[in-house]
Structure 1
């Protein structure tokens, strides 16, 4: 259904599969999206699709289809009348019964007219791409529609969405970046709706009827879009992002406690609220958790009592929600599938770094500490064998130096040492002769190095020596990584 050479986002594809009924939950304890991820990975393993990795996380984000495979798929699709494609480059003649329609161009033709006339009979899926926005059929005519995807189609000067409430069979509705400012109140009629994506639109508030969508599993909104009271009624929700909570909507935290099926929660608070901790205790299926706090001062210890679920994959608490110390649950036996960790820990010792280094699946680490302000001035060592899968590492406000021993971080490609404090008490750890060798040469996959050294507790000459040592190490590295080293 996607144009040739399209980058197809994995999550978008899986949600469409679910809406079409292609995914059946045969095993107890497995939800449809997890089964869809298994199918997606199978297609990669069988070379049917080509994986595309997120450059920041190192995880598969989307895919492409090779031209020859796409030709084969379209051939089978035409034989089975599976998908009708209308585009400038490649069109299939519409039959009298259209099950799935992909509109990819904007040229009017008798073929296009015939296709849109045939939609009302049996169409289950309609995907429209921006060049074909002028050919959008009246949504109210597609009574059996399950999937409607209009990403990037500009609807700012049309009222075509007013008929959405008539699509009673709709399971999937993607209105991403359509320049719309509101949804019709009748959207509450879509009692089978599972996915609603209205991101990148100037929508200030969702209709109050949204809370009647009891089968909704995925709700994606912008932080500028408010949700109405009653969000706790959506007890099937597995994904909610990005939810903004301010002083006027603080009661939503209590409603979140009812969403016990949540697997992904992205939330932004104007200021920290202790009620959130009690809410998180009840969300035991969380796999991805983002917590942002808009205003200073930073909160220290607010999450200390929280214990993450064992299946946690991603945790991002930014730099304002601080843990007092490294949580005891951050260890390889408790969170074995943790791949992304972005936290601030006020006090960090060598034993804590060693524990982090044993996390078997960790690919991204952004760690901020406050050791210098606590008077902990010794440097830290990244030991051999630690961080076996780490690809991206950000150490913030660490006391100089951090030494990387041979065998540590074998897959690390990007290293950032921001606001790294240079202390005289920590000199001489890197090499036997008291030099400033941090062991960058021991990181065999390194491609990018950034460092910002703050001249605190050191003379300007010593700071420049540290900068020179890092610059020299980067230049001497066999990979010749990109590097930017600065001192202030």
Structure 2
């Protein structure tokens, strides 16, 4: 069971900056120069040909980090910041690749202006390869193919990479020398030197460069580094472990204990994978119980999967892993848990949002291997899919079904499912699932993008009285029944991106008194129900309004615990020529994050508005129409007193003149400069505006 964490809260901004420094691994600059030289050398004729370089080395050496560094350097010329390639893409393959998914991702990254084709979901590998080859025919392209395990997989991908004479370049990473040799020029990534190992180790422990340990720790630190063998993942993991103990009276005793634990049973002939497993096991063993639980839960996700942090934290809340702390919401405490795992180098950020918060993360293959093994040993979570477990336990507590192979799923009918507390199902597997009424003690039910789920499933769902977390995002439901009130313990409900739900929310919805998150954007278009202001625990809300009026803001502003609010406005209010003014008459007492998206921007902030707001996202689908409707682009951003980050997004639109978009930039910039809190301003101009991370 999870226990209350001990120790100080992590400063997220410092942590994210430190991560970025750590991932720019010591020695990466020199190595990236060597790889770039391999990609660019040769005579005039060979320069024009497609050239492939394969980075090869065992897990944890930093192959992906190096490939990404080369990718970022090659994409843009340093002298004029112009793009060197017509198109680029970075794809991860992994041990059990879904080739259709890989080719689809490759196509969409290369062709960023591509509009989703309604028939595209039906395309197989051959059609996708043809589309990619056609697109690349007259293009100079740069592609990274990360984590290739099999020669046949490389051969399959190679079919899509047309060999034109436009100086295209491809980088692959692999642990297997045969694969690297087949792909092209081989770059063997070696472990860090002793000097670079020290530099990275001390940088991770002391948060600064050129810092050395006190004399009494020199010998033990050298012994630890010897065991890490120049592997960056090992150095960062152990460095993270030791960084929390520096400056204490028992530091030498603790460091010596760590050294012995990673040395026990090891010798110089021990293979690298087992060595790394032992090093990572030490980091796991030193975690407090609540972080062990959260880390094991990550075995739920497939290899190389980018995990959305918001969804992850709310799942932890629904599972009961997150414990209350004075003065903090459960979501904020869960965020601290994730930050601690990142700070210990057991989880890696994948993407940061404009407010410098981690919005997606992933787990290194070797860490994932460890937690899958531990999860199986402790019967923490059972994952049916690739790789298939050797045996299924008689009593399952948490179940993830990621395969649609009938022989595998049919095993479920012979097993007792009455103790399953958490169920996550992929879309192909849902049709093979036993009826949901066979899971009577479920706390977490995740049916995200299971299109087979429709209104016929509501009866079973509404009988799951113990549910805390329910995701029906992207399903085919078209109504919310009054029986939803049966779910008295429900904390998280996501029905966003469903088939259009035409009926209003039932009046019984107000009985969900424990609800913390309710996301219904892109599903229900409605006015804000008046009773919503009595939902006293509601922390996060996404909603789509047909039009936005004063009464909507009045209700939303009086939801007492609302901290995150995402509003989509379907259309501007006819005849409105003055903006809705948000002032202290609309309390929004706890609101820290606010996003509003619409064709035009109908809001203006007066003095005293949203006095807790820290992050603001304004998405204007049409700058021209905004100016035409109101005659100006004045939003009153100087009046939001605690604002730290503001993002203004607007699309490329032929109706928007350069003069109007420049006016928008100038006005917003001036208002932000007048704000005494000096918030960080980011403009984002995109083809398809999306306010998500």
TM superposition score normalised by structure 1: 0.64
2:513 pairs with 1:194: no
Which of 534, 538, 543 aligns to 1:233? It is: 534
Among 21, 24, 33, the alignment partner of 2:320 is 21
Partner of residue 140 from structure 1, selected from 423, 433, 437: 437
The correspondence of residues 406-445 of structure 1 with structure 2, limited to 5 A, is none
Contact 2:441–2:464 (8 Å) recurs in 1 = yes
Corresponding residue for residue 291 of structure 1: 596
More moved, 229-238 vs 349-358:
349-358
Structure-to-structure mapping, 1:18-417, within 5 angstroms: 18-26=317-325, 28-54=326-352, 59-91=357-389, 93-109=391-407, 112-114=410-412, 117-120=415-418, 122-155=419-452, 159-202=456-499, 203-208=501-506, 209-226=508-525, 230-246=531-547, 251-269=551-569, 270-271=572-573, 277=582, 281-294=586-599, 299=602, 302-316=604-618, 318=620, 320=626, 324=634, 327-329=637-639, 334-335=641-642, 337-338=644-645, 340=647, 348=667, 354-355=673-674, 359=678, 362=680, 364-366=681-683
CA-CA distance at 1:325 after TM superposition = 7.2
The whole-number CA distance in structure 2 between the counterparts of 1:189 and 1:216 is 13
Deviation at 1:206, TM superposition (A): 4.8
Deviations 1:221-246 (A, max 9, x none): 12450455532332211111123153
Q: Distance in 2 between matches of 1:147 and 1:78?
A: 20
Deviation of 1:346 after TM superposition, in Å, equals: 10
**Cα deviations across residues 230-270 of structure 1 (Å, max 9, x unaligned)?**
323322111111231538x8754443243121111122444
Bigger proportion of residues as strand: 1
Give the structure 2 partner of residue 403 of structure 1.
Answer: none
1:293 & 1:236 partners in 2: Cα distance?
27
CA offsets 1:266-325 (integer angstroms, 9 cap, x no match): 224443697773687311211111234556xx65x8422443324512242746487747
* Residue 105 of structure 1, CA deviation: 0.3
SS in 2 for 1:261: coil
Q: 1:294 to 1:342 in 2, by over 3 A?
A: closer
Q: Sort the Cα spacing of 1:229 and 1:113 in 2 relative to 1 into closer, same or farther, 3 A.
A: farther
Structure 2's unaligned 5+ residue stretches are 1-299, 651-662, 688-693
Matched residues in 1 for 2:435 and 2:483: separation? 16
* Residue of structure 2 in register with 1:457 after alignment: none
State the Cα deviation string for residues 36-84 of structure 1 (Å, max 9, x = none).
1111111112121221115776642111112211111011111111101
The answer to whether the 8 A contact 2:642-2:677 is kept is: no
1:196 positional shift? 0.7
For 2:596, what is the secondary structure of its paired residue? Answer: strand
Matched residue SS, 2:479? coil
Offset of residue 175 of structure 1: 0.9
How many angstroms apart in 2 are the aligned matches of 1:254 and 1:349? 26
- Report the Cα distance in structure 2 between the residues aligned to 1:136 and 1:98, rounded to whole angstroms: 15
3-state secondary structure, aligned to 1:18: helix
Task: Provide the C-alpha distance between the structure 2 equivalents of 1:349 and 1:223, rounded to a whole number of angstroms.
Answer: 28
Indicate the SS of the match to 2:484.
helix
Change (3 A) 1:10 1:350: closer
Kindly tell me the number of residue pairs found equivalent between the two proteins: 359
| CA pair 147-276 structure 1, distance change in 2 beyond 3 A | farther
User: Which residue number in structure 1 is paired with residue 237 of structure 2?
Assistant: none
Aligned 8 A contact 2:608 2:639 in 1: no
Between the aligned partners of 1:253 and 1:118, the Cα distance in structure 2 is: 49
CA 1:315/1:111 → structure 2, altered by over 3 Å: closer, same or farther? Answer: closer
Tell me by how many angstroms 1:109 deviates.
2.8
Residues 141-178 of structure 1, C-alpha deviations (whole Å, 9 max, x = no match): 22211100011112257823321111111010011112
Change (3 A) 1:346 1:80: closer
Quickly say closer, same or farther: Cα 1:177–1:116, change in 2 above 3 A: farther
Q: TM-score, normalised by structure 2?
A: 0.46
Cα distance between partner residues in 2 of 1:279 and 1:317: 23
Report the Cα distance in structure 2 between the residues aligned to 1:304 and 1:259, rounded to whole angstroms. Answer: 20
Partners of 2:320 and 2:552 in 1: how far apart? 32
Find the residue that maps to 1:230 and give its secondary structure. Answer: helix
> Does the 8 A contact of 1:253 with 1:279 survive in 2?
no
| Cα 1:186–1:170 shift into 2, 3 Å | same
Alpha-carbon distance between aligned partners in 2 of 1:31 and 1:118, rounded to the nearest angstrom: 36
Quick check: which one's helix share is greater? 2
Checking the alignment, whether the CA contact within 8 Å between 1:86 and 1:92 is kept in structure 2 is no
Unaligned 5+ segments in structure 1 are 367-391, 395-413, 417-488
RMSD: 3.5
Deviates more, 1:101-110 or 1:10-19: 101-110
Give the C-alpha shift of residue 94 in structure 1: 2.5
**Partner SS state of residue 29, structure 1:** coil
Which of 305, 314, 317 is equivalent to 1:6? Answer: 305
Displacement over 6 Å in runs of 4+: 272-276, 342-347
Distance 1:206 1:219, change over 3 A: farther
